[in-house]
Structures are given as structure tokens and as C-alpha cells.
Structure 1
Amino acid sequence: MSAQAVGVAAWQALSNLGDNAAAMRAALQSDANHFSLNHTWLTAGRPTWLGQIQAALPEIPHELSDVASRNVAVALALVEAMRADLQQTIAGIPAQRLGIVIGTSTSGLSANEAALFAHTRGEDSSAELVYSRQQMNATSVALQRYLGWRGPCFTVSTACSSAAKAILAGQRLLQADVCDVVLVGGIDTLCSLTFNGFDCLESLSSERCRPFAADRDGINIGEAGALLLLHRQQENVNLCGGGESADAWHISAPHPQGTGAAQAMQRALSNSGLQAADIDYVNLHGTATPQNDAMEALAVRQVFGTHRPWLSSTKHHTGHCLGAAGAIEAAIACAILEDAATWLPWQQGFAATDSAFADLRFVRPDSEFTGRIKRIMSNSFAFAGSNASLIFESKHA
């Protein structure tokens, strides 16, 4: 384990793929469609494929009503699922040394949308508009109040890199000796603003998204939440470090040469004391838009050169979970690295890969692995060139 690495004492994820590692693994090693077709989210009434959490969510306590939202309900479900590990990890640690950093892009905005829509139409509505529910820090504040922690508590909101940056912020709190344990991750739930915003950008696919495919035409939106409990002790899975960049190329389009993406990946390697050849697998950002996939392929070639790590995008299963994307994909990395068996998520096989990417080593159903997967890089690239790349490693590395 590198000198700056921190241990993942526990993790929990919730998405359209289920709420446990076994369900996640089964989904990621198939071409099964885990999306549902919805006819209500787009204002024009057109159908759209989405990744929706199907699990029942807990009721939010009355004392958290001022911050209540689906985001918070997902957060509470995650915390309760990891309650035993959480209590064991924080035993004897003062509340002031327990931190929380959450990434999100829309927070609890969906909790106010019914009231906002009624207002703009001049209609009376029984829906209550409570602004505090959509404040960016609502979920992190809700978790702090629910758990009774008293350490640093804040939110990172940098669009689709939010959760990855929140995870790195938690690592820095540990390295700076500000905290002894930090709960990190990201949560984003379905919201009309994001659906119709991406529709205005003409970024939504009318079908199931196809990352790196010849006929890729856009994203599907999903919702998810994942939390990781970080501390300084070595664990079965450890966060080596990460890299960030901000190329500010364009408000919504990625740098066409992948400059910022390559910088984030290279900095992740440097900050972790690793070389490109040390990475076994890269969970690509892989949104399935023509520009994003093309630039990420260029960035991978720049960083890895002749080394060919295994590659795949998992967004054809989860959808693009926006501010939670980096968290659900970090959870996927943890699931792979802690498993005694060697497996990786398949690159989608229901559409032909773009011939422009023929040199890249995508994971296929018949891929054969030599030994364990020891180190994984996970990429998250956002609007305005706000990029982050994480590296996780197994204790067997």
C-alpha cells in the first residue's frame, strides 16, 4: 500500500442494479437491460430510458423534514445497510474527528419540483416548497444530524465528477490529520431538470446507450448512491489516491484531444506512486456520446502508451448517474477487488464497437485474465473540464 493510501473500511451501493455486491456482479457480467422506459420525465412526453432504484427506501425521520428528499432517503438506506461496520470502525473516536463529504449535482431539487411547476402554471398546489431541501449541502447535513457526527461536513458539486472529487476530499482530510474516519461518496436521484436539460443539449439516446459503439448517440440517465467509509488502516481494498484537472475547455463539451482527462489520469498515477503498467483495469467514464468516448480513447492512449489495461464502461447498465457516477463506479471497483474470484464488467456486447477503438482492450464475455485484478482506475469527467480519476488497489497488490 502506498504511503498516502487509505483503507476502505466498508462500502455500500444502491442503484438500478440492486443493493448488494452479488446482484451488481451478476448484472455487470451480462448484456441484460436494467433500464426502464419512462413517458413522464421529458416535458415533450417522449419516452426515455432510465436507470431507476427499485428498492424500497426508508421513511425520513420528522426531525430531518427540512432537508427531506429522495436523495436523503437513499443516503439513510445506505447508512443503515452499513451500520454494523460503521459502528465498529468509529468506536472510541470523538465525534469531532468524524467527517462527511458527499458529491451531488441536483441535491433534493426533485422534492420541490411539483410545487415549482404548479407555481409557474399559476395553479394551486398542496405540494410544499421548502428551499432547504434543495440546498447543495442538504444530504451531507442530513447525514451528519442523523449520525450525530461533529467533524467537517461539506458537499462537492462539480457535475459528473462530484462524487469522485468528494472521495478525494475525504482522503485529504485523513492525510491532513483533520479526521480519523470520513464517510464519502455521492448521491443523485432522478430529477426533471437534468432530464430536460440533457434533452435540450440533444445528449439523450432514444435507445439503450452504447458506450464506444459505432452507432453511439447519447446517454441514459440513472440514479444511484454509494458511500465509502475511509480511515488510515489498511483494508482488503484501499484508495491509493487520485488526480484532478480543470481544463475549462467548454461549458459542456470535453476537450477534443482529451487533455484534461489525460492530466487527471496521469496525476492519479503520480500521486499514488504508480506507473501506467501497474493498472489492470480502467472503469471508463464512457457516457456513449460521440465526443466523450472519442476524447477518452485519446486520453487512454496518451497515458498508457503500449500498456493495454482492460477497459469497459458500466453506464450501459447503470445509466449516467451524474453527481453519483464516481461513487457507484468506485463501489464497482471495491466489489471487484474484494472478491476472491477474478472478474470484470463486460463492455456492452449488443452493439458493434467503433473501429476507431480497435486497438483498445475491452472486456468481453470470453476475456481471460491472468491472476487477480490488483489495481483499478476509475474515471469521472464533467462539464467545463472538471475531471477526476481514482485508483483503488487490493490488499494483494
Structure 2
Amino acid sequence: MKPLVLTHFTATSCIGRGLDATFDALRGKRGGLAPCHFERATLDTWIGAVDGIDDQTVRDDLSDYECRNNRLAQLALNQDGFAEAVAAAARRYGAQRIGVFIGTSTAGILETEQAYRERDPHSGALPATFRYAETHNPYSSAAFVRAYFGLQGPAFVISSACSSGAKVFGSARRMLAAGLIDAAVVGGVDSLCLTTLYGFNSLELLSPGPCKPFDVQRNGISIGEAAAFALLERVPQANDTTPPLPADAVLLAGVGESSDAYHMSSPHPQGLGARLAMEQALASSGIAADGIDYINLHGTATPSNDAAESTAVKTLFNDTPCSSTKGATGHTLGAAGALEAVIAALALREQWLPAGINTTEVDTALGLNYQLTGGPAILRTALSNSFGFGGTNCSLLFARAAYVLDGGAAS
């Protein structure tokens, strides 16, 4: 595939608002998980809540979209100059030539939970102020972002469980390759709600403490919330009037997707779908497995998921440094793929190898080169894995522009 450039990207999660705060937390091995005090949730678990979401409202002209999920999206869109970058792209290409592709799992379902608590006691009618289309409806996440920027290009939401925020990169790539758009806002946003907290609790997947990916004592996930976005554009050509890319620009060099449909909630024990996704990402980029410098693992911290992913990784890679950043952020579900894509891009930009936070004793039986200590590193490439319920898998391969455009990979 022809690589695409991430001209701007941003992330907001429990470890911070924007790239500087995110990188400072990763560099300092500071996680954002805390005991669960979410409204009406009486669960013995830890969560990754973003501070200050309820201290703001969505923009006045978009009040129909008022909900926690869209407030979180708005908070993230206004970090790192991202909103200004999208506005500049709209002026450059035209609003109708920019697509919006967002991943989420539950969107604003919290609004529906609240609405059901306020039903009319006699008729059972939901309150007149409840707006399903702009809040709970999964498409509301893309509709909000599209309306926020006044964009008019194609827009849709992918809700494929935990791979949602990664698969949007593949959708944008196909739209750009088809010539339907000239740029894309991609990302993921998922916010805390009782549905996910109690749903994962019913599956007995919640850890009673901070999650510990790939640890010998790992015992479940910590649910978090996040919003992360990237602006994707084509790489400037030699005859373009736009300036050439700086050497440290981050490119989307490869995308791999698979659907193994092994089980509704359990991964294929040999990681079949995960391996297929990684193989496709490598093949589409023209980069060999030994050219990957870092893998951001899906790493949920459940015994079966980490074991299956390890099996898949070992079939393709030999001692490649890897870690899961979910120990810092929690599992942000439909936003996880986008959040961890941004973290991979940030690692390339900053030349920093992220450590696995909260993990103290790596499960050596898994056989991975799991990083407990982060630090400066020469990183040319990074692979980011996102594997969801039902076997919906996606791997994204990012690379520094100097490596790809100077012949490090086939184009």
C-alpha cells in the first residue's frame, strides 16, 4: 500500500490530556488507574477515568449531542492544535473532501441508562429530553465530530468491539486510495458507563486491582475511557507544491485485518486471527518482521488473551521489544485501537520505548521480550495490535518517514 502521513494526532485518557501529558506519564511510568467510584457502580475493580469531563458541556450549537462520550471527544479534539489542523485541511481540500471515521463500542449509552432511570412511572415513557440519535446511536460519535468541524465528506462509525478504533485507519486508507476523499479524521472514543462495567463483571473479566498485562499474576482487565484522533493525508509527491515531509514524520505504512470468528468472547487459542492481521500489516507495508522495532501489544491482562497473543507474536517475530500500555490507561474498549495507535506514533516521534506499567513479574512462559523499563531507543517502526470480541482483529504498522521514503520498505 502507499503510505499515508499522520499530519497531526492527539490523545486524551486517564494518564493525561494531549500528547505532552501522555508522553510524560509513559516516560515516568505513571498510570492513571484508580479504585472504581463511578456513579452507582459498586464493583471491586479499578478504572481509568478522565478527570474533568463533567466540568464542561459540548459547544452551544451542538447541544443536541450533549453526553459524556461527546464531551470526551470534544475535550480531545481541542488538544495539540488538532482542531486547528483539521480546519486548515478543510480550507485546503474543501469540507466535502474530508472523511470522518470513528470507532466506538457503546457511544453515549450512559444517556440511555440515565433516561431509563427517569421513565414516567405510569406510562414508562422515556423523558422528552432524551435524544437517542445524537447520543446513544453509535453513529452519533462520527456525527458529532463531523458537525464539530463542519465537514461534509463520507462519515461512519465502526463498532467491532476492541478493534474499532484501529479499523478506522483501514477504512480511511481505502477511501483515500479510491480517490473519494483527500484527508480523513480518524479516531476512537469510548466513555465509562454501567453497561460495560457490569457487562465485563458478568463475564468475570474485571481485575480487583490495577491490571497487569503479561504478568504471571495477571487476573483481568481494568476498564478505562479515552478519545484519540489522527488526521491522515497522502504523502506529498515530488512535484507537489506542499513542503516535503520532515524525517521524523510518522506514516501509516501497513494495515492488516482479519475475522476469525472463533468465539463470541474468547480469542483463538493459537491466535490465528491475530497472526493473520499482523501478517497482512507486514505484507501491505513491504516491511519484514525483523524490521519491526517495537510492538504495542493488545495486552488486556486476562490469562487467555495474553497467552493467545503471545503465541501469535512468536510465530512471526523473534525477540522484538514489546509492551502493553493498558497497564497505564486501562482497556479503553472501542477507543483502544486509536489510543494505542497514537501511543505507537508518539513512541516513534519521541524515540522512546514504552514500558509495561503495573507489570512486575513477566510471565516467562509466554516467551516475549516484554519491556519492564522504558527508555530512549532507535525506533524506525512500530506495530500496534487490537483484537476484539468475535475475532475482529486489526494490526497497524507505523514508520518514520525517513525509513519508508528512503527505501527501508517497499512502497
TM-score, length basis structure 2: 0.89
Deviation at 1:16, TM superposition (A): 0.6
Contact preservation (8 Å) 1:162, 1:323:
yes
Contact preservation (8 Å) 1:9, 1:89:
no
**Cα distance 1:220–1:366, how it changes in 2: closer, same or farther (>3 A)?**
closer
Deviation at 1:167, TM superposition (A): 1.5
Deviation at 1:54, TM superposition (A): 1.2
Aligned to 2:149: 147
SS of corresponding position for 1:131? coil
Aligned to 2:300: 287
Deviation at 1:21, TM superposition (A): 2.2
Q: Which moved more, 1:63-72 or 1:190-199?
A: 63-72
Q: Distance in 2 between matches of 1:130 and 1:367?
A: 47
Aligned to 1:52: 49
Matches within 5 A, 1:56-71: 58-71=56-69
Residue 198 of structure 2 corresponds to residue 196 of structure 1: yes
Q: Which moved more, 1:66-75 or 1:126-135?
A: 126-135
Contact preservation (8 Å) 1:99, 1:179:
yes
Q: Distance in 2 between matches of 1:189 and 1:387?
A: 21
Q: Distance in 2 between matches of 1:331 and 1:310?
A: 18
Runs of 5+ consecutive residues of structure 1 not aligned to the other structure = none
Q: Distance in 1 between matches of 2:208 and 2:309?
A: 23
CA RMSD of aligned residues (A): 2.1
1:18 to 16, 19, 22: 16
Deviation at 1:101, TM superposition (A): 0.3
SS of corresponding position for 1:239? strand
Matches within 5 A, 1:165-176: 165-176=167-178
**Cα distance 1:95–1:33, how it changes in 2: closer, same or farther (>3 A)?**
closer
Residue 251 of structure 2 corresponds to residue 250 of structure 1: no
Aligned to 2:287: 274
Q: Distance in 2 between matches of 1:314 and 1:361?
A: 15
**Percentage of identical aligned residues:** 39
Deviation at 1:152, TM superposition (A): 0.2
SS of corresponding position for 1:134? coil
CA deviations on 1:117-153 (whole Å, 9 max, x unpaired) are: 3449889997943211210100111121221111101
Which residue type is aligned with residue 312 of structure 1? Answer: S
Q: Distance in 1 between matches of 2:95 and 2:375?
A: 47
Which residue type is aligned with residue 47 of structure 1? Answer: D
Residue 106 of structure 2 corresponds to residue 76 of structure 1: no
Which residue type is aligned with residue 365 of structure 1? Answer: T
Aligned to 2:240: none
Contact preservation (8 Å) 2:352, 2:374:
no
SS of corresponding position for 2:58? coil
Deviation at 1:92, TM superposition (A): 2.8
Q: Distance in 2 between matches of 1:76 and 1:31?
A: 27
Deviation at 1:23, TM superposition (A): 1.9
Residue 323 of structure 2 corresponds to residue 312 of structure 1: yes
SS of corresponding position for 2:93? coil
CA deviations on 1:5-57 (whole Å, 9 max, x unpaired) are: 100010111101111323212222344342121245575x2332100111456
Which residue type is aligned with residue 363 of structure 2? Answer: D
Which residue type is aligned with residue 352 of structure 1? Answer: E
Contact preservation (8 Å) 2:215, 2:359:
no
**Cα distance 1:138–1:368, how it changes in 2: closer, same or farther (>3 A)?**
closer
Aligned to 1:100: 100
Q: Distance in 2 between matches of 1:181 and 1:319?
A: 30
Deviation at 1:367, TM superposition (A): 6.4
Contact preservation (8 Å) 1:161, 1:325:
yes
Deviation at 1:114, TM superposition (A): 1.4
Q: Distance in 1 between matches of 2:270 and 2:126?
A: 49
Matches within 5 A, 1:330-341: 330-339=341-350
Contact preservation (8 Å) 2:354, 2:374:
no
Contact preservation (8 Å) 1:29, 1:365:
no
Aligned to 2:4: 6
Q: Which moved more, 1:199-208 or 1:47-56?
A: 47-56
Q: Which moved more, 1:326-335 or 1:120-129?
A: 120-129
Contact preservation (8 Å) 2:250, 2:399:
yes
**Cα distance 1:380–1:350, how it changes in 2: closer, same or farther (>3 A)?**
closer
Q: Which moved more, 1:381-390 or 1:65-74?
A: 65-74
Runs of 5+ consecutive residues of structure 2 not aligned to the other structure = 237-244, 404-411
**Cα distance 1:247–1:311, how it changes in 2: closer, same or farther (>3 A)?**
same
**Cα distance 1:136–1:126, how it changes in 2: closer, same or farther (>3 A)?**
closer
Contact preservation (8 Å) 2:345, 2:398:
yes
